[in-house]
Amino acid sequence: MESIAGIEIYPIISLLIFFIFFVALFLWVFTAKKDYIKTVSNIPLDNQQNDDIL
pTM: 0.57
d(CA 26, CA 15): 16
**φ, ψ (nearest 5 deg) of residue 42:** -90, -5
Residue 44 carries which side chain, given as an amino acid letter? P
CB 44 within 8 A of CB 50: no
Read off the pLDDT of residues 17-28 as tens digits, 9 standing for 90 and up: 999 999 999 999
pLDDT at position 42 = 86
Longest dimension (CA), the chain: 62
Residue/partner pairs of 17-23 with CB below 8 Å, 24 or more apart: none
- What tens-digit pLDDT sequence spans the chain (54 residues)? 778 888 889 999 999 999 999 999 999 988 988 888 888 888 887 776 555 555
Domain ranges of the chain: 9-53
